[in-house]
């Protein structure tokens, strides 16, 4: 909405390119912008160089990094983002883990709602970290299939959404005391269902975008007392920036901080993982860039390969595009590259890969995925 703050988080593994803005205290890659640009018309967004995310939502990433350090950032750490769509927190976790551990981690991003899981997979593909796996399963399925598996679970659970009132008038229209009760009960079920998947000594990072104690402090306290855990102290270092302390966590209130509403807290699991393993198929929607596909005499590269942070541009000829041509590529138009060699080329904008074309000479076959094409006129 017009006049509301807007922020982005840069992808540190795709270089420093992205919108310029004021640093966000709790995110090393967060930038608060002076105004909202046309993100759709910026090829750097489509290259995965940054993610548009509310600055308050980035506070969950700060709590995660704090707990990652407290655990000693162990190599091979396993992390679950339980309710991950559309991918803001997932990509933040991925950057934090890779900065601390290189490739020695695994991150499962789960979204139970199938339609939202597809958007999650697209955003993870753009971000380009091959250590992330995207699945769509009920938390209970994950709990039964992977008992005691994860070192950290991040649960940004569905809530009554009071923190979004300024941004989303519909959230205000739909709010009621009954909705708060319904959400609080559903959150308890989600935590109970996923609890078995957290190892003893593992950490739960719990967050919402509401101000209701019933959904925030009360629920995290309930998890500690009922499921078996010890509450961790809230963060005390950001009071000067408008971040409040609550009994069990931190509250960011729209108007007091640059972003919208957010609450976050954490606890350590003390109960044994226990439970019987009930294997269930967790077929991933995305598990790193797919391999190239043989078709006749051609070996066709998959578009996600170019977006991977591990992609080697020496594997293909590179064709650097100016802004109008890059937008036409992203619009999925046929473009002409008279100076590029025939065959498969990776096209770049400001040095960042956008995808592939097959240069036929007079025109190029555009391999940009139909689902990701810019719909606006370019």
Catalytic residues: 209
- Going from the first residue of the chain to its last (378 residues), give the mean pLDDT of each consecutive group of 10, the final group possibly shorter: 85 93 97 96 98 98 98 98 98 98 98 96 98 97 95 97 84 86 97 96 98 97 98 95 98 96 98 74 92 90 98 96 98 96 97 97 96 94
The residue whose two tokens read 């009922």 is 226
Same fold yes or no, 6-269 and 293-372: no
- Inter-residue contact 116 to 187 (CB < 8 Å): no
Is 0.75 surpassed by the pTM of this model? yes
Q: Where are the alpha helices (DSSP H) in the chain?
A: 43-46, 58-70, 88-101, 114-127, 139-145, 169-174, 177-195, 217-222, 303-307, 323-330
Helix, strand, coil in percent for the chain, rounding step 5: 30, 25, 40
The residue whose two tokens read 């912008």 is 33
What are the residue boundaries of the structural domains of the chain, listed by start? 6-269, 293-372
- Inter-residue contact 197 to 149 (CB < 8 Å): yes
The secondary structure of residue 257, as a DSSP letter, is: B
Give the model's pLDDT for residue 166. 82
**293-372: CATH class:** alpha beta
Q: Which CATH number fits domain 6-269: 3.20.20.20, 3.90.330.10, 3.30.56.10, 3.40.50.150?
A: 3.40.50.150
Please give the C-alpha separations between residue 6 and each of 49, 54, 93, 122, 125, in angstroms, as whole numbers. 17, 7, 20, 22, 23
Look at the alpha carbons of 90, 93, 99, 100 in this order and tell me if their dihedral is positive or negative.
Answer: negative
Please give the C-alpha separations between residue 212 and each of 61, 107, 179, 253, 261, in angstroms, as whole numbers. 21, 29, 11, 12, 11
- What phi and psi, each to the nearest 5 degrees, are found at residue 324? -60, -40
- What phi and psi, each to the nearest 5 degrees, are found at residue 298? -90, 150
Tokens of 347: 């096209």
The residue whose two tokens read 């789960």 is 110
In angstroms, rounded to a whole number, what is the distance separating the alpha carbons of residues 332 and 374? 8
């Amino acid at each position: 909405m017009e006049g509301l703050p807007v922020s982005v988080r840069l992808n540190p593994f795709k270089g420093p390119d992205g919108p310029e803005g004021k640093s966000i205290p709790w995110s090393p890659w967060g930038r608060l912008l002076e105004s909202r640009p046309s993100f759709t018309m910026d090829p750097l967004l489509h290259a995965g160089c940054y993610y548009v995310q509310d600055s308050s939502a980035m506070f969950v990433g700060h709590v995660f990094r704090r707990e990652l350090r407290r655990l000693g950032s162990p190599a091979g750490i396993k992390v679950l983002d339980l309710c991950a769509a559309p991918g803001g927190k997932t990509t933040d976790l991925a950057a934090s883990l890779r900065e601390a551990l290189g490739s020695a981690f695994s991150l499962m991003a789960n979204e139970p709602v199938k339609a939202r899981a597809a958007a999650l997979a697209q955003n993870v593909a753009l971000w380009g970290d091959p250590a992330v796996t995207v699945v769509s399963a009920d938390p209970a399925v994950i709990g039964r299939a992977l008992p005691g598996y994860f070192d950290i679970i991040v649960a940004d659970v569905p809530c009554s959404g009071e923190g979004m009132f300024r941004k989303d008038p519909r959230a205000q229209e739909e709010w009621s005391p009954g909705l708060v009760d319904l959400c609080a009960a559903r959150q308890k079920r989600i935590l109970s269902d996923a609890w078995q998947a957290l190892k003893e000594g593992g950490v739960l990072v719990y967050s919402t975008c509401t101000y209701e104690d019933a959904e925030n402090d009360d629920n995290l306290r309930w998890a500690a007392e009922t499921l078996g855990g010890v509450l961790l102290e809230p963060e005390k270092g950001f009071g000067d920036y408008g971040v409040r302390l609550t009994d069990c966590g931190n509250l960011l209130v729209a108007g007091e901080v640059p972003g919208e509403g957010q609450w976050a807290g954490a606890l350590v699991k003390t109960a044994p993982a226990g439970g019987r393993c009930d294997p269930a198929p967790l077929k991933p929607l995305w598990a790193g860039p797919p391999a190239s596909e043989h078709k006749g005499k051609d070996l066709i590269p998959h578009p996600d390969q170019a977006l991977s942070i591990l992609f080697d541009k020496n594997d293909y000829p590179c064709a650097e595009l100016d802004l109008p041509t890059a937008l036409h590529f992203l619009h999925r138009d046929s473009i002409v590259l008279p100076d590029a060699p025939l065959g498969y080329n990776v096209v770049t904008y400001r040095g960042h890969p956008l995808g592939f074309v097959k240069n036929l000479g007079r025109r190029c076959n555009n391999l940009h995925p139909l689902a990701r094409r810019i719909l606006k006129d370019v």
